[in-house]
């Protein structure tokens, strides 16, 4: 169990396609929390969609916006926060989330993540000739970081409502300790 902290919010981390937004929305509804998505907040700030930010400003500029957005959530309460898959690769972002949120990682294998993302085109990092190879490569690098979450939930072969129920349960448990 995570050490005793203020769990004003619940943050979902994990690779692209692991279900952070879908699960997050459902959990927020069930908890009566507000759902926020860092990607959406970034797009609102930039006034353009993420693929356009990557294309016109580059990934580094995207990460600057991402860091600002993550920092802006620190004084909020009652939020379920879905983070972009790369957000916690910046240790400042991870540390920041842990000051106010229970951080839950949704885990899936590279093959499953590929299956879930292969027909989508809004993720610039996966617009490659060999998306599965790319997923494997990035996951290898990110895996050890994702595993520093307070809780890791395996989403393989499980319906999203079941994953959502487990996320909610973990959050409620942590809030009672």
Contact 104, 149 (CB under 8 A): yes
Residues 6+ apart with CB under 8 A from 22: 160
Q: How far is the CB of 20 from ligand S3P (least distance, A)?
A: 6
Q: What is the DSSP letter of 75?
A: T
By the rule CB under 6 A, 85 interacts with ligand S3P: yes
By the rule CB under 6 A, 104 interacts with ligand S3P: no
By the rule CB under 6 A, 24 interacts with ligand S3P: no
Rounded Cα distance between 144 and 166, Å, is 22
- Residue (16 or 167) nearer to ligand S3P, CB: 16
Size of the site for ligand S3P (CB under 6 A): 10
Work out which of 123, 145, 148, 158 binds ligand S3P, going by CB under 6 A.
123
Q: How far is the CB of 1 from ligand S3P (least distance, A)?
A: 26
Work out which of 7, 11, 12, 16 binds ligand S3P, going by CB under 6 A.
16
Q: State the residue for tokens 């499953």.
A: 112
Rounded Cα distance between 151 and 2, Å, is 8
Sheet holding 34-37, edge to edge: 34-37, 79-82, 9-13, 101-107, 151-154
Contacting positions for ligand S3P (CB under 6 A): 16, 20, 39, 50, 84-86, 123-125
């Amino acid at each position: 169990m995570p050490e005793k902290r203020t769990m004003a919010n619940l943050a979902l981390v994990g690779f692209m396609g692991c279900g952070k937004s879908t699960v997050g929305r459902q959990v927020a509804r069930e908890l009566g929390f507000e759902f926020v998505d860092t990607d959406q907040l970034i797009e609102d700030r930039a006034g353009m969609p993420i693929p356009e930010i990557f294309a016109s400003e580059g990934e580094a500029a995207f990460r600057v916006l991402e860091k600002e957005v993550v920092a802006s959530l620190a004084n909020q309460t009652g939020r379920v926060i879905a983070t972009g898959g790369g957000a916690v690769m910046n240790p400042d972002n991870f540390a920041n989330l842990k000051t106010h949120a229970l951080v839950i990682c949704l885990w899936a294998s590279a093959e499953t993540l590929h299956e879930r993302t292969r027909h989508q085109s809004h993720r610039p990092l996966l617009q490659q000739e060999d998306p599965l190879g790319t997923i494997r490569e990035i996951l290898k690098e990110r895996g050890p970081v994702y595993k520093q979450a307070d809780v890791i939930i395996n989403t393989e072969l499980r319906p999203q409502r079941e994953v959502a129920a487990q996320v909610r349960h973990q959050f409620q448990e942590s809030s009672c300790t």
